[in-house]
Structures are given as C-alpha cells and as structure tokens.
C-alpha cells in the first residue's frame, strides 16, 4: 500500500491586510499630534496656501497615474511571458536586456532631462508606455527585446524625472521649503498604494480567463493617454538655458567635485542594488524546497509595509524628538542589512520570512523620502536629474552582473547574492555616517554664478 503525502499551501492570514491598513491610517492621523506645534506647515495645516495644495494635489495625481502604469507591467510581466510559453531562461534574458539598457541610458537621460526639461522627458515616459501597450496588442507574442528596452527606459525616467520636476516647480512657485518633506513621503506612500491597486486592476482585467492577456495592455494605453494629456495641459515648465558645455563644467564642479554628493550617490546606489536583488530573489526564497505559497497575496504586504514606513518619516524628521536625517539613515541601513543577512544565512519558515521581508520594506519606505530630502539639501536642482541618473548606473551594472552570474550561468547562489546586498547596505550606512561627520555646507546654485 502506497503512502500518500499531502502537500499544504501556506496561506496568509487575511487579518494582516486589515492590520497594515489600520496602522497606516493611525500613523497618518497621529502625525499632527506628534509633530512640533511650532512647525510651519503639515499636511493637515488648513492655513497652507490654496495654490500649494492645488500644486501638490495635481502632482500626486500625475505621479499616481504614472505609478499605476509602472505597477501593471511589474506584476503582469512575468505572467504574460509565461502565458506565451516563454521559459525561465528567456525571462532572465529579458531582465538582462532591461538592466543593460538602464545601465547606459540612466546617465544620458538624467543629463538630457536637466537640459531640455523634465516635462518633455516625462512625456517620453508616457509615449514609451503607450508604444509597449500598442505593441503587445498587435503582436503575439510581442518582441521581448523591444518590450524590455522600452519598459527599462520608462522605469529609468520614472525613478528621477517626476521628483526632480516637482522640486524645481516647487522652488519656482516659491512654496515653503519645509513642505517638500511631506511631499516626499507622500510620493512613496502613493506609489506603493498604486502598485497594490495596479495588481488588483490586472487581476480583475484578466480574471479566470488566461487568454485575456491583452486587457492590461489596453488599460495602460488608456492611462498613458490620460497622463500625456495631463502633463501637456496641466503643467508648465521653463527649460534650462545652459549649454552642454556649461552644464558639464557645473556638473564637474558641484557633483563630481563634492565629496558629500559622492557619499549620497553611493548610498542611493547601494539601496537601489539591494532592492533590485530583493525583488529578483524574494519569490525563489519563499518557495525554496518545494514550498507552496500564494505569492500574489504576499506582494501587497510588502507594499503596505512600505506605505507604513513612509508615514514614520515625518515623525522622525519633525517635532520635538526630530533627529538629523543622516543619523536616522545610518540606523535604517544597518537594520536593512541585518534583515537581509538573516534571510541569506539562516533558513526560515515562510511566516518568519514574510515578517522579515515586511520589515525590510518598512525601512525602505522610510529611507526613500529621507534620501530625497538629502538630495534637496546637497544637490542643486539644475543638476539633480543628472546626479540621480549617474547614481543608477553602477547599481544597474551590479544587478546585471548578479543576474548573469546567478540566474543565467548559475555560478553564484542566492545566498551569496543577498550577501552582496548586505555589504552594499553596510557601505551605505558608512557613507551616511561620513556625511554626518562632514556636515552640511550651503551651496550656491550654479546658474547664479
């Protein structure tokens, strides 16, 4: 008589979603009471000018539309490739195409956006998503090479152009500088929420019919058209008048010649690399040894944790218990490294893994607006896009090398790749400690020289 071994599927407790949602709401509404009473503005300050509230509301709406487009492809891409019978090896090739494109395109797009204006580059972002959506509807299967390149270019633009555009317009419209801090964490909050919404949208459009793979493409085409119209009619921008030669001299003097910005750029690079490694390896880590898990239910927990982490940012950076951003980032990077180190070198049950991954993303939610605040302190606005573009290049190179060695040639194990991420996070903590020691010195905008 044979022995039948029943396999059980690990399921996430639905109350976790309610718990994260309640914590986010509680954290947001607790913020006015935890902040300093003498603080000049908060997101709940009804005395804030209507022009600024309209400005931030319009920007967050635009940023949310862009986040939904990014989120649909991120949650739908692997499913779509699998529906066309594309194997894991070809999926790894698609990742290599994307990271190779981002490696060379990020510095170029960053400089280009500073020279011609971030509004025009953001329009290119919409056009790229529109092209991919149309291409996927008319070609079955769509070209994996073209799709990876276009989406990689769009993701690169998304990572810096909207933020830089908002900061520059915020300054030109002479809004209060301290209100930028709230906008930064709201960007992280809304981006994470829109990624969750995009997963729900893709699941609803596909439903139980695996043949309806064109439905998400139609949604992206619709959102791209709305976003393009909104940018064209709803936003104004005065592009920079500097020539490429003047820009190069200023970039060398204020970016490459400033050791503080070097430290900030390396901290951004290490975070980008670690997050990239995480998103590549989290699913294989959870389902290791044949464990059966509903991955689609775990993904929203990560993003919800990042939302919760972003709401903690104003509590640490304002009010009577406020601390220097560099101090907070030193501890945040160390915690990120410890969490990733536990996953890399200690076998864990699924529940423990999910908890560690959620804590990891909660810290990421705090770090992202913190780095944006430091960029405002140290980087001239006219050079911000170029600085962020150049900081992405080494991170993309490291991720590309990791994908090739770990996913394609299989020369490096997943634990070793996570260990590289841990080293990067510890290096970022050291950069923040050095930045804290050297202190803040005001810069003069290069166009005023």
- Give domain limits for the chain: 51-240, 242-449
Q: Is residue 304 exposed (0-12), middle (13-18) or buried (19+ Cβ within 10 Å)?
A: buried
Q: Tens of pLDDT along 122-164?
A: 999 999 999 999 988 887 777 788 999 999 999 999 999 999 9
For residue 141, is the peptide bond before it cis, meaning its omega torsion is within 30 degrees of 0? Answer: yes
The answer to whether residues 72 and 219 touch, using CB atoms and an 8 Å cutoff, is yes
- Give Cβ neighbours of residue 40 (< 8 Å, ≥ 6 apart): 176, 178
Nearest to 121 by CA among 78, 89, 98, 154: 154
The CA distance from 216 to 137, in Å, is: 10
Task: State mean pLDDT over 176-201.
Answer: 90
Lowest mean pLDDT among 124-138, 156-170, 210-224, 372-386: 210-224
Beta bridge partners of 9: 292
- The reported pLDDT for the residue numbered 5 is 40
- Token pair 């907070």 in the structure block, residue: 328
Q: Tens of pLDDT along 56-94?
A: 999 999 999 999 999 998 877 777 777 777 777 888 888
The CA distance from 269 to 260, in Å, is: 14
The CA distance from 361 to 275, in Å, is: 9
The CA distance from 127 to 129, in Å, is: 5
Crossing angle of the two packed helices 88-116 and 384-402, in degrees rounded to 10:
170
Lowest mean pLDDT among 53-62, 297-306, 317-326: 317-326
Nearest to 391 by CA among 403, 404, 378: 378
What dotted CATH number matches 51-240?
Answer: 1.20.1250.20
Q: How many CB atoms lie within 10 A of CB 99?
A: 22
The answer to whether residues 364 and 275 touch, using CB atoms and an 8 Å cutoff, is yes
CATH code 1.20.1250.20 for 242-449: yes
Q: Tens of pLDDT along 17-55?
A: 888 888 888 777 766 555 544 444 455 554 457 888 889
The CA distance from 248 to 137, in Å, is: 42
Percent of the chain's residues with pLDDT above 90? 52
Cα separations (Å) of 336 from 94, 276, 340?
28, 14, 6
Q: How many CB atoms lie within 10 A of CB 142?
A: 18
CA atoms within 13 A on the CB side of 174: 0
Q: Do domains 51-240 and 242-449 have the same CATH topology?
A: yes
- The reported pLDDT for the residue numbered 38 is 42
The CA distance from 333 to 325, in Å, is: 12
Nearest to 269 by CA among 67, 154, 409, 420: 420
Nearest to 326 by CA among 388, 391, 377: 377
């Amino acid at each position: 008589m044979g022995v039948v071994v029943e396999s059980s599927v690990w399921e996430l407790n639905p109350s976790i979603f309610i718990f994260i949602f309640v914590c986010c709401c509680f954290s947001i509404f607790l913020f006015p009471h935890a902040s300093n009473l003498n603080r000049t503005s908060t997101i709940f300050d009804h005395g804030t000018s209507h022009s600024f509230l309209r400005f931030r509301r319009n920007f967050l709406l635009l940023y949310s539309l862009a986040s939904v487009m990014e989120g649909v492809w991120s949650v739908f891409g692997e499913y779509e490739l699998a529906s066309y019978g594309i194997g894991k090896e070809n999926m790894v090739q698609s990742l290599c195409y994307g990271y190779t494109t981002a490696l060379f395109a990020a510095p170029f797009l960053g400089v280009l956006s500073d020279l011609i204006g971030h509004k025009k580059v953001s329009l290119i972002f919409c056009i790229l998503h529109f092209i991919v959506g149309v291409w996927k509807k008319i070609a079955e299967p769509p070209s994996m090479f073209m799709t990876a390149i276009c989406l990689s270019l769009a993701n690169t633009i998304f990572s810096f152009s909207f933020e830089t555009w908002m900061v520059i317009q915020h300054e030109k419209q002479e809004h209060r500088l301290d209100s930028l801090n709230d906008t930064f964490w709201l960007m992280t909050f809304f981006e994470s929420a829109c990624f969750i919404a995009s997963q729900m949208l893709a699941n609803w459009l596909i439903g139980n019919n695996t043949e309806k793979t064109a439905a998400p493409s139609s949604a992206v085409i619709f959102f791209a058209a709305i976003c393009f119209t909104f940018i064209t009619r709803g936003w104004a921008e005065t592009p920079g008048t500097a020539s490429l030669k003047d820009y190069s001299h200023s970039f060398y003097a204020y970016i490459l010649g400033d050791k503080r910005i070097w430290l900030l750029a390396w901290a951004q690079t290490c975070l980008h690399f670690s997050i990239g490694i995480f998103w590549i390896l989290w699913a294989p880590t959870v389902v290791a040894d044949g464990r059966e898990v509903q991955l689609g239910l775990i993904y929203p927990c990560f993003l919800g944790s990042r939302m919760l982490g972003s709401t903690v940012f104003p509590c640490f950076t304002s009010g009577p218990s406020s601390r220097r951003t560099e101090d907070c980032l030193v501890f945040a990077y160390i915690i990120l490294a410890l969490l990733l180190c536990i996953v890399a070198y200690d076998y864990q049950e699924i529940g423990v893994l999910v908890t560690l991954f959620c804590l990891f993303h909660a810290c990421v939610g705090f770090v992202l607006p913190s780095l944006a605040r430091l960029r405002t302190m140290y980087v001239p606005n006219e050079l911000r896009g170029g600085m962020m573009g150049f900081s992405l290049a080494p991170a993309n190179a490291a991720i590309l090398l990791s994908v090739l060695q770990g996913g394609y040639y299989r020369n490096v194990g997943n634990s070793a790749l996570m260990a590289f991420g841990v080293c990067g996070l510890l290096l970022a903590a050291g950069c923040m400690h050095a930045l804290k020691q050297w202190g803040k010195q005001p810069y003069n905008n290069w166009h005023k020289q």
